[in-house]
A and B are shown apart, each in its own frame.
Chain A
Amino acid sequence: MRPLDILRFGLMSLGSNRVRTLLMLLAMSIGVAAVVLLTGIGNGARLYIVDQFASLGTNLVIIIPGRAETASNTPATLVGETPRDLTLEDAQALSRSELVARVAPLNIGELHAVRQGRERQVPVLGSTTSFLDIHHLEIALGTFLPEEDWDIARPVCVIGPKVHQELFGRESALGELIRLGGYRCRVIGILGSEGRSLGFDTQELVIVPVAFAQMLYNTSGLFRILVEGKDPETLPRLKKHITETIAKRHHGEEDVTIITQDSVLATFDKIFKTLTLTVAGIAAISLVVAGILIMNVMLMSVAQRTAEIGLCKALGATQGKIMTMLVSEALLLSAIGGVMGLMLGFAGAFGIAQVYPELKTMPPVWAVAAAMTTALGTGFIFSLLPARRAARLDPIRALAGH
Chain B
Amino acid sequence: MIELRDISRTFTVGGQEVRAMDHVSLAIGAGEYLSIMGPSGSGKSTLLNIIGLLDTPNSGTYMLEGRDVTSLDDKQLAATRSKKIGFIFQFFHLIARLTAEENIELPLMLAGVAARERHERSAPLIDSFGLSNRQHHKPDELSGGQRQRVAIARAVINRPAVLLADEPTGNLDRSSGAEIIDLLERLNAEGQTLVVVTHDPEIGNRARRRIRVVDGRLAADSGG
Interface residues of A (CB under 8 A from B): 1-2, 5, 9, 12-13, 15-16, 307-308, 310-321, 395-396, 399, 402
Contacts and interface: CB of A to CB of B under 8 A. Distances in A.
B103 to A, nearest CB: 10
B110 A314 contact: no
B43 to A, nearest CB: 13
Q: Is the interface of A mostly helix, strand, loop or mixed?
A: helix
A402 B96 CA distance: 14
Contacts of A314: 52, 54, 81, 87
A324 to B, nearest CB: 11
Chain B's interface size range is 20 to 34
Interface string B49-80: 10010110000000000000000001100110
A395 B89 CA distance: 13
Contacts of B78: 313, 316-319, 321
Determine which residue in B52, B79, B93 has the highest number of CB atoms from chain A within 10 A of its CB, and name it.
B93
A316 B93 contact: no
B18 interface: no
B110 A317 contact: yes
B16 to A, nearest CB: 18
Nearest to B77: A318
B93 A307 contact: yes
Interface of B: 49, 52, 54-55, 74-75, 78-79, 81-83, 87, 89, 91, 93, 95-98, 106-107, 109-112, 114-115, 154, 158
Contacts of A310: 93
A246 to B, nearest CB: 79
Nearest to A310: B93
A182 B108 CA distance: 100
B82 A1 contact: no
Given A311-B93, A399-B89, 20 more contacts: A9-B109, A13-B97, A15-B97, A308-B93, A311-B95, A313-B54, A313-B81, A314-B52, A314-B81, A314-B87, A315-B82, A316-B81, A317-B78, A318-B75, A319-B74, A321-B78, A321-B110, A396-B54, A396-B55, A399-B93
A396 B49 contact: yes
Contacts of A319: 74, 78
B87 A308 contact: no
Contacts of A402: 91
Nearest to A325: B110
